[in-house]
Structure 1
Amino acid sequence: MTDRTSHDPDDANLTADRRSLVPSFEMSRRQAVLTTLATGFALATQPVSAETTITTDTSGLVAGEVQIPASDREIPAYRAMPATGGPFPVVLVVQEIFGVHEHIKDVCRRLAKEGYFALAPEMFVRQGDVSQLKTIDEIRPIVAKVPDAQVMSDLDAAVTFAAASGKANADKLAITGFCWGGRITWLYAAHNPKLKAGIAWYGRLAGEPSQTTPKHPVDVAADLKAPVLGLYGGADQGIPLDTVEAMRAACAKAGKTCEIVVFEGAPHAFHADYRPSYRAEPAKQGWARLLAWLKQHGVS
């Protein structure tokens, strides 16, 4: 087992004191009032690169915060879709460890410009507001308390919300996620039989089980219910290439439609245009592959 704790900022489960982190659905007063999304970029991502950050406007779109009814509460989410027409195919967008901040919102707007109903629910809402924390070390313990089962349920609620809006065609459903959300993308592809396609950006593929994360993508390869495209960096210090090869082998053995692309020399989070890890060419190629994958598998 390779120790990746010191390298991958989005790997919230590899902490030194994991035993003390157990699921908790009891919200403190501070957590209970967390009902809105972050404004701007998460504090832990500062300073934001002004030279490379991509900003997508809302011209021709309906975009903004919505509330999704879930099993026990409403969940804030960012939604973006074309202002006219519809119903539109649905793409769930799953956040990095930093929550639904400006970058994830911008990804939703990019998808909306392509004709999609893009929806990014805040996955950590019950555990705490990571957008206001200044360091990764402060964020990891909160994210490590988020159970996979809770995330799957909340994503199902997001699909129900989209379908009920009258503007979304939930029969054309896809999911994409980044870093922490990349791992979730693989898991959701094994969870929802109605999913048509998944695109996982540098999500962790293997690891030891815990109460909150009992299985990892390599463990559920045989259960995948939709084709998944994996986009990974060849120089990612947090996701060893042997785990990428293990995922490829597991998908092939199970006869699943998976394509994993490794961009040589690209680090972790190469799509994050607001961070030093951004690499323009792999990001551009990855985005083109994402759009092609959606169309190839009927999400258009």
Structure 2
Amino acid sequence: MSQTITLTAADGHTLSAYSAGPADAPRALVVVQEIFGVNHHIRTVADAFGAEGYRVIAPALFDRAERDVELAYDQAGVQKGLKLRAAIPPEDTLLDIVAAARALGLEPAHTGIIGYCWGGTLAWQAACRTDSFGAAVGWYGAGIAAKRTLVPHCPVELHFGETDGSIPLSDIAAIRAAHPDLPIYIYPDAGHGFGCSERASFNAPAAELAQTRSLAFFDRRL
């Protein structure tokens, strides 16, 4: 059942979150938003994982700066999303992600995290800077290369688009050099946001393959 719930982070901050999937699921996922908020697309993503048998929580990470944010996939949405992201200290965002993981109610070994865009970077940081997850997947996280020296505490899988204007192939090569055993997939003719059907950059074959791989990864690891 899908619903909006309230989470409380370790510092006392309360935030809303979208919850989906069976409450008694044996495996769980935190779905981490793009810079556009917990919008229709992210709720659809959460519902899809819920239909696969996961209990899912997508925390509203912008709540520390502004509540009920759902931005459009246009330049105005991008600019506001970037402004909101910059207003929140990264360590506070991680507190909110950990709160979502705890609310799922399972041990870290059975709790995964997957993120998109900004969320892809956050999934990487959560895998490296917390012990809350048994597996992590990042889709087109532009900030991962800058944090490639971090060491993950759980298995990680990454997905990138070959023609992503915000993530050059040299960044992906740098991540591979830092973590040669990490599974990294590059999708031909796929740009930034290729997994979102509400964006002009949507690439259906790449999105379907990346989703299949992500599900298989979690199936093996959680």
Normalized against structure 2, the TM-score is what? 0.91
SS at match of 1:270: coil
Q: What number of residue pairs does the alignment pair up?
A: 217
Offset at residue 248 of structure 1 (A) = 0.8
SS at match of 1:219: coil
Are the aligned partners of 2:56 and 2:104 in contact in 1 as well (CA < 8 Å)? no
Counterparts of 2:80 and 2:44, CA distance in 1: 25
Counterparts of 1:109 and 1:179, CA distance in 2: 19
Cα deviations by residue, 1:88-128 (Å, 9 ceiling, x for unpaired): 31100000000001110111110011110111000110112
* One-letter code aligned to 1:294: F
Aligned to 2:130: 192
Aligned to 2:159: 231
Offset at residue 194 of structure 1 (A) = 4.1
Offset at residue 228 of structure 1 (A) = 0.9
Counterparts of 2:112 and 2:71, CA distance in 1: 30
Matched, 1:264 2:188: yes
Matched, 1:249 2:142: no
Aligned to 1:52: none
Aligned to 1:65: 4
Offset at residue 203 of structure 1 (A) = 0.3
Aligned to 1:104: 42
CA distance 1:63–1:241, shift in 2 (3 Å) = same
* Runs of 5+ consecutive residues of structure 1 not aligned to the other structure: 1-61, 208-215
Is 262-271 or 121-130 further displaced after alignment?
121-130
Work out which of the residue numbers 51, 72, 81 in structure 1 matches 2:21.
Answer: 81
Aligned to 2:104: 162
Counterparts of 2:154 and 2:175, CA distance in 1: 15
Could you list the structure 1 runs, at least 4 aligned residues long, displaced by more than 4 angstroms after superposition.
none
* One-letter code aligned to 2:102: T
Instruction: Decide which structure has the larger Cα Rg and report it.
Output: 1
Question: Higher relative contact order by CA 8 Å / sep ≥ 6: 1 or 2?
Answer: 1
Identity of aligned residues (%): 29
Aligned to 1:274: 198
SS at match of 1:128: coil
Are the aligned partners of 2:36 and 2:77 in contact in 1 as well (CA < 8 Å)? no
* One-letter code aligned to 2:19: R
Are the aligned partners of 1:162 and 1:170 in contact in 2 as well (CA < 8 Å)? no
Are the aligned partners of 2:133 and 2:154 in contact in 1 as well (CA < 8 Å)? yes
Is 134-143 or 189-198 further displaced after alignment?
134-143
Counterparts of 2:188 and 2:97, CA distance in 1: 32
Counterparts of 1:132 and 1:194, CA distance in 2: 29
Aligned to 2:64: 126
* One-letter code aligned to 2:51: K
Matched, 1:291 2:220: no
Higher helix share: 2
SS at match of 1:135: helix
